[in-house]
């Protein structure tokens, strides 16, 4: 049973460019959330997708956008990259949006902006 | 207030000892409190979680203690092993399953 898979694992981009990160949820899960983890810090919530709609959003600018597909997979897009966007981007999936639905995380995409 | 404050930032414990990590929160709307373990290069993995109507939950060597009136909760790792060396995060969520994480505790268990 595959867990949450993310691609690519590493990415290097230049300031001002755009990037797309991809996530496939754990089998049986229909909700996908994205988190940003800066080095040495806890993950910070970006947004959550359920039924192909953004349901909740954290304190991130609209340069961060996403999408969920009918097969529950998801993409995170970041436009006009800044140096401060360098971080580990984590995708997490769950079965529904209830607060006690355990979140299962992927191993992340390490984004470096130069 | 959405913050979850975690302490200590780092912890060194001898093999066989007890590791204790503490967290405090302000938002009384939080209704689910999970702990995650993260190894270098990996994503966080759920260890154990508790609801606020329970004061303690134990799973193997891991125990969560929860004090609702003080708005504090803690993770105890009994008989700590070198393989437990990792970064531990407490978290809290409200309805909708949006997690707010603490800043993390880097645990090192010395053989």
Per residue in B71-80, pLDDT (tens digit) is: 999 999 999 9
Q: Are B31 and B93 in contact (CB under 8 A)?
A: yes
B88 pLDDT more than 70? yes
pLDDT tens string A38-57: 999 999 999 999 999 999 99
The token duo for A2 is 């595959």
Site from A44, A47, A99 to mutate, B interface, most B CB atoms within 10 angstroms: A99
Residue B60's region, left for phi above 0, alpha for psi from -120 to 50, else beta, is left
pLDDT tens string B29-47: 999 999 999 999 999 999 9
Residues of B with CB under 8 A from a CB of A: 6, 31-32, 34, 36, 41-46, 49, 51, 89, 91, 93-104
Reduced 3-state DSSP string for A1-61: CCCCEEECCEEEECCCCCEEEEEECCCCCCEEEEEEECCCCCCEEEEEEECCEEEEECCCC
Residues of A with CB under 8 A from a CB of B: 4, 31, 33, 35, 40-45, 48, 55-56, 58, 90, 92, 94, 96-108
Contacts of A2 in chain B (CB under 8 A): none
Q: Are B97 and A50 in contact (CB under 8 A)?
A: no
Strand, helix or coil at B65? strand
Q: Are B25 and B4 in contact (CB under 8 A)?
A: yes
Q: Are B104 and A105 within 8 A, CB to CB?
A: no
Q: Which residues of B80-104 are buried (b: 16+ CB within 10 A; e: fewer)?
A: beeebbbbbbbbbbbeebbbbbbbb
pLDDT tens string B1-38: 459 999 999 999 999 999 999 999 999 999 999 999 99
From B10, which residue of chain A is nearest by alpha-carbon distance?
A40
Mean pLDDT of all residues in chain A? 95
- Residue B18: CB atoms within 10 A of its CB come to 13
CA atoms within 13 A on the CB side of A104: 19
From B48, which residue of chain A is nearest by alpha-carbon distance?
A102
CA distance B79 to chain A (A): 26
State how far the Cα of B84 lies from the Cα of B95, in Å rounded to an integer: 31
């Amino acid at each position: 049973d595959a867990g949450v898979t993310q691609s690519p694992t590493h990415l290097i981009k230049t300031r001002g460019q755009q990037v797309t990160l991809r996530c496939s949820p754990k089998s049986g899960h229909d909700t996908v959330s994205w988190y940003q983890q800066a080095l040495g810090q806890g993950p910070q919530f970006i947004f959550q997708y359920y039924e192909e709609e953004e349901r909740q959003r954290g304190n991130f600018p609209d340069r961060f956008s996403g999408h969920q597909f009918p097969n529950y997979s998801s993409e995170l897009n970041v436009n006009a990259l800044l140096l401060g966007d360098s971080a580990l981007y984590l995708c997490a999936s769950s079965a529904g949006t209830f607060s006690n639905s355990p979140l299962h995380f992927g191993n992340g995409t390490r984004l470096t902006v130069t | 207030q959405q913050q979850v404050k975690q302490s200590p930032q780092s912890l060194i414990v001898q093999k066989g000892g007890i590791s204790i990590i503490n967290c405090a929160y302000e938002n009384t709307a939080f209704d689910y409190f999970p702990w995650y373990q993260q190894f270098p290069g990996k994503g966080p993995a759920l260890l154990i979680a508790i609801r606020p109507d329970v004061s303690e939950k134990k799973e193997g060597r891991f125990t969560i203690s929860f004090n609702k009136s003080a708005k504090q909760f803690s993770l105890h790792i009994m008989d700590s092993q070198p393989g437990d060396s990792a970064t531990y995060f407490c978290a809290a969520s409200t309805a909708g399953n949006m997690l707010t994480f603490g800043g993390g505790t880097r645990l090192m268990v010395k053989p």
